[in-house]
Structure 1
Amino acid sequence: MSLASPSLPSRVAPGRDDAAAIPGRDEGPLVPLVVDLDGTLLRTDLLLEGVVAILRRNVLMLFAMLAWLPRGRAHFKRRVAEHAALDFATLPANEELLAYIELQKTLGREIVLATAADELMARRIVERFPLFDRAVSSDGLVNLKGEVKARRLAALFPRGFDYAGNAAVDLPIWARAERVILVETPASVARAARAGGRPIEEFAAAPRLRALAKGLRLHQWAKNGLVFVPLVLGGLAGSAGAWAEAGLAFLALGLVASASYLLNDLWDLPHDRAHWSKRHRPLASGRLPLATGLAATVGGLTSGLALAALAGPAVLAAVLAYLAVTLAYSFSLKRVPMLDALILGGLFTLRLVIGVAAVGVAWSPWLLTFSMFLFTSLSFAKRHTELRGAVRRGRTGQLSGRGYRPADEPVVLAFGIAAGLASIVIFILYLANEAFRHAVLSAPLALWAFPLVLVLFMGRIWLLAGRDELNDDPVAFAVRDRPSLSLAAVAGLAFAVAAFGLPGWGY
């Protein structure tokens, strides 16, 4: 079924010769340029976007969607299009391809959108991109995909057409096209398309493995190093078995945490795309396909929980608690001001709990309280940075996806600095009341270096936050900041000396 853009009447481009119009074309009229939508014009899949949007609004709609499936894929797409509330203006587009389409439009070519997405969604795309003269799409009865789309285009354009697509399902269409335009296609698909012997143009894709690594936030695994802290402070630094147990818990937590980051980004897509910096995240920008993100989420959760179970029931319970709190935060509690920072601080503290459960050392209320205050302070620093950014851009309303307003900045600043100072005091109290009472460390005096490191680190974080020089995430900033890394090295050395001692050290 075809539809015309409300702002551009359907028309056929006049024939003309122009060797510069299309690289490699020497003669003949300019045939229509037909462009696919999912994964081509847009760096996303509208059906998956719609499904996620529906579930975001009401998870119970999953059962309704299961009831739509038996009536066919075209019907399913129509119902998803009717129920999904998508912000079409922020969906990530392939800007390089768009520039190419604009050039072809200036040469007088007819530009056609041909998509397996439902007509209701195709209409919104044509409204956003008035470059298109018309669109052909699925209509609730026919799923315009693969061979079906190929036959439709061949009937509409008997004199030929050029086709821009991205997937194996486009191979039958490229077989009928005058020119093959490959848009960020997998290598196997590109090889199959080249075998057809037609002229080819390519828009190369950025490596998706890099996008996946960024989406998994592998740098955040530095946080999971807290799992090893109870081992050291519990006097088990010399036990290879304890290191192995903690290492297994570390790996399990890392996989679950990375999967939860992806799940959070999937759930938060509309807000991320409206955010000044988060719109560059892999899923929000489309550099990481939604399908890949979903698969990595399921794989990470499954493998992480399996490893946690292997580490023991206590570790599994702690990792499940971490996952439950993370999901509650992602789906709801992140929008509650002040509480959101406390929850993030609690998630850091749960990493220590997992470490305690892994190696079976005694619980330290001082250490857990210290962790809660320290990481709550860093969480407030993150919110403070976001609020400062909103003030710079003249925002006055509530932050997208958050419960804060720019006017809350002074309160967040006060609470953040207060929590940071409290963490330092609590660590000193830990040293005075617990570290020297139990003969588990070889040289506990070395731990007195840690409060000094904390003062310098927290001072630097909040100083840079006030100068607008802090990354949105203080942890991500710290792992790239040389002074912070130097302070971490000093802290690590202090822990090593405390655990193993040096000649002449002791009580």
Structure 2
Amino acid sequence: MDARSDVRTVPLCVDLDGTLIATDTLWEALALLLLRRPWMILAAIYWAMQGKQVLKREVAFRSEREPADWPYRDAVLTLIRNARAEGRPVWLVTGAAEKTATGIASHLGLFDRVLHSDDCENLTATRKRNRLIAECGEGGFDYVGNSRDDLKVFDAARKSMIVQPDRAARSWGEANGGTFVDTGRVSRIALFKAIRVHQWLKNMLIGVPLVLDHEWANPVALAAVIGAFFSFSFFASAVYILNDIIDLGNDRRHARKRFRPIAAGAVSIPVALAVAASLLVASIGIAGLLSPFYWLTLALYGVTTTAYTFVLKRKLLVDVFTLAGLYTLRIMAGAMAIDSELSFWLLAFSIFFFLSLALVKRFVELDETEIDMGEKLNGRSYLGSDKAMVAQGGVSSAFASALVLALYINSDHVQSMYSAPWLIWPLCPIILYMLLRIWILAGRSQMHDDPVVFIMRDWRSQATMAVGAALVIIATLH
């Protein structure tokens, strides 16, 4: 009897990139390498000129990715375990470099053999097909793949299983009776989630100087603020994407951040980088229509947020002061866009207010992560024992922001700008109510790790802000 007539002797051959894991190991490792060490671009070009297999080998050798860091597909792991339970051999057959492939195979402990690219051959497409035919014979293996590169292998397999297919693989499967493996729906708005459109709410701070200067009816100033809003938003979204790529390892070990589109593999690294580049071009193009001082503010934001991404976010307390400063830079950008004079009181209030919110983020991270008192928070410089001090600093900053606001309301500047300044005094308890409520809910573990997202979803916070805005308008028109 032909050995292939017994299904238990037919190996299940599983592709790696896009199949077993929801990302591409080369793209991810290369992007991380060049973002952290951009001077390596010339070396990467040289490796690529020697052949893709050389590029894969050299990038894998320098990769900081651990096997546990990759986003494995549960449905494919289940498929593999079921095959092993039936007594079938399971092979990992991939175009990835030896270091990557063997590391993953060793980590999972589910594969009987590992076939991978080497110094002579990039094991993809036709080369992978020929290698499997040489090993198993035509139709002597089952294959699990996902992309156009796998079509030749599908043709030679006894049975083909298709995971999250691209357009070519889907068409092949529908035409040739391939089996589609259900890995769950991919959100159609994954790209919008990746650029974090909801975070654009922060950039409404750009309009604060316009409102405080009572220039909302000035069409020129209003157009400048709208342009600055989109310029800043596009720039910030590009930074979010780059930050998510750099932080992939930490995000995948986080309870919620592992579901972010790039970390989960819902948005590929090439697409993410292309979108980030497009957003940067659009941001700079809009900025070119605005004041040169706005340009300088946007450049300062870029330098600061880059420093935060690579260095400052891992420094104790420096990270939260930087976040507070980045919020304040948004207000400065709005002032620069309309050539408004910056108020000392406004900047002081902003620093204390947003320092409180930044400390909320760290408090929630410490509260939700199960670490010992002397253990360091992943990717940060905070210990488990720092939670109480972080809370004290955040609540103190909340009261300081209300105090600065009270002093500002009592200043000669406000007295001269508002016909009924007493109407804006309630802003002080309103600000305290909003911040203290956030801190109380954080202490009860009832808040999202990003207070801005929480405010967007919380009707009480929205009502509080609406009342505050109404008071300012009424005091202006009274």
With the shorter chain as reference, the TM-score category is over 0.9
Deviations 1:28-80 (A, max 9, x none): x7732221100110011111232244346644333332332221111111111
1:136 aligns with 2:126: no
Q: 1:358 aligns with which of 302, 312, 337?
A: 337
Q: Residues 263 and 100 from structure 1, CA distance in 2 versus in 1: closer, same or farther, beyond 3 angstroms?
A: same
Q: 1:335 aligns with which of 314, 328, 334?
A: 314
Give the C-alpha shift of residue 434 in structure 1: 4.8
1:49 aligns with 2:49: no
The one-letter amino acid paired with 1:410 is: A
Corresponding residue number in structure 2 for 1:493: 470
1:318 aligns with 2:308: no
Corresponding residue number in structure 2 for 1:170: 150
Give the C-alpha shift of residue 224 in structure 1: 0.6
1:347 aligns with 2:326: yes
Give the C-alpha shift of residue 204 in structure 1: 5.2
1:31–1:159 Cα contact (<8 Å) kept: no
Corresponding residue number in structure 2 for 1:24: none
1:249 aligns with 2:228: yes
Question: Larger deviation: 151-160 or 353-362?
Answer: 151-160
Deviations 1:64-108 (A, max 9, x none): 323322211111111112222221112110111211221122223
1:457 aligns with 2:434: yes
Corresponding residue number in structure 1 for 2:82: 103
Give the C-alpha shift of residue 205 in structure 1: 5.5
The one-letter amino acid paired with 1:424 is: A
SS in 2 for 1:185: coil
Corresponding residue number in structure 1 for 2:160: 180
1:171–1:193 Cα contact (<8 Å) kept: no
1:118–1:140 Cα contact (<8 Å) kept: no
Question: Larger deviation: 243-252 or 176-185?
Answer: 176-185
Corresponding residue number in structure 2 for 1:117: 96
Give the C-alpha shift of residue 495 in structure 1: 3.4
Q: 1:61 aligns with which of 28, 40, 62?
A: 40
1:167–1:186 Cα contact (<8 Å) kept: yes
Question: Larger deviation: 267-276 or 452-461?
Answer: 267-276
TM-score by length of 1: 0.88
Corresponding residue number in structure 2 for 1:414: 392
The one-letter amino acid paired with 1:246 is: V
1:151 aligns with 2:130: yes
CA distance in 2, matches of 1:297, 1:270: 20
Deviations 1:439-472 (A, max 9, x none): 4x57554432322210110110111121122211
1:16 aligns with 2:6: yes
Give the C-alpha shift of residue 288 in structure 1: 2.4
SS in 2 for 1:368: helix
The one-letter amino acid paired with 1:203 is: D
Give the C-alpha shift of residue 130 in structure 1: 2.2
CA distance in 2, matches of 1:444, 1:13: 90
- Root-mean-square deviation (CA, aligned residues, Å) is 2.2
CA distance in 2, matches of 1:458, 1:474: 10
SS in 2 for 1:163: strand
The one-letter amino acid paired with 2:6 is: R
Corresponding residue number in structure 1 for 2:204: 225
2:35–2:246 Cα contact (<8 Å) kept: yes
1:164–1:181 Cα contact (<8 Å) kept: yes
2:147–2:168 Cα contact (<8 Å) kept: no
2:53–2:120 Cα contact (<8 Å) kept: yes
Give the C-alpha shift of residue 15 in structure 1: 4.4
1:179–1:199 Cα contact (<8 Å) kept: yes
CA distance in 1, matches of 2:83, 2:475: 69
Q: 1:305 aligns with which of 270, 284, 297?
A: 284
TM-score by length of 2: 0.93
Corresponding residue number in structure 1 for 2:409: 431
1:185–1:205 Cα contact (<8 Å) kept: no
SS in 1 for 2:162: strand
CA distance in 2, matches of 1:247, 1:100: 51
2:91–2:113 Cα contact (<8 Å) kept: yes
CA distance in 1, matches of 2:360, 2:350: 15
Matched-pair identity in % = 35
The one-letter amino acid paired with 1:419 is: S
CA distance in 2, matches of 1:187, 1:434: 66
1:371 aligns with 2:361: no
1:377–1:420 Cα contact (<8 Å) kept: yes
1:185–1:204 Cα contact (<8 Å) kept: no
Question: Larger deviation: 486-495 or 398-407?
Answer: 486-495
SS in 2 for 1:164: strand
Gaps of 5+ in 2: none
Give the C-alpha shift of residue 198 in structure 1: 3.6
Give the C-alpha shift of residue 168 in structure 1: 1.5
Question: Larger deviation: 287-296 or 243-252?
Answer: 287-296
Give the C-alpha shift of residue 162 in structure 1: 2.3
CA distance in 2, matches of 1:91, 1:192: 27
Question: Larger deviation: 51-60 or 106-115?
Answer: 51-60
Question: Larger deviation: 392-401 or 236-245?
Answer: 392-401
2:89–2:112 Cα contact (<8 Å) kept: yes
SS in 2 for 1:458: helix
1:380–1:413 Cα contact (<8 Å) kept: yes
CA distance in 2, matches of 1:348, 1:317: 16
CA distance in 1, matches of 2:47, 2:4: 44
The one-letter amino acid paired with 1:412 is: V
Corresponding residue number in structure 2 for 1:25: none
2:19–2:146 Cα contact (<8 Å) kept: yes
1:13–1:32 Cα contact (<8 Å) kept: no
The one-letter amino acid paired with 2:40 is: M
Gaps of 5+ in 1: 1-11, 18-28
Q: Residues 437 and 125 from structure 1, CA distance in 2 versus in 1: closer, same or farther, beyond 3 angstroms?
A: same
Q: Residues 492 and 192 from structure 1, CA distance in 2 versus in 1: closer, same or farther, beyond 3 angstroms?
A: farther
Higher helix share: 2
2:101–2:114 Cα contact (<8 Å) kept: yes
Question: Larger deviation: 67-76 or 285-294?
Answer: 285-294
Deviations 1:216-237 (A, max 9, x none): 1111111111111111111101
Q: Residues 436 and 416 from structure 1, CA distance in 2 versus in 1: closer, same or farther, beyond 3 angstroms?
A: same
Q: Residues 192 and 495 from structure 1, CA distance in 2 versus in 1: closer, same or farther, beyond 3 angstroms?
A: farther
The one-letter amino acid paired with 1:165 is: G
SS in 2 for 1:320: helix
Corresponding residue number in structure 2 for 1:5: none
Deviations 1:120-158 (A, max 9, x none): 211111112222221211112211111221222222221
The one-letter amino acid paired with 1:401 is: G
The one-letter amino acid paired with 2:54 is: H
1:283 aligns with 2:262: yes
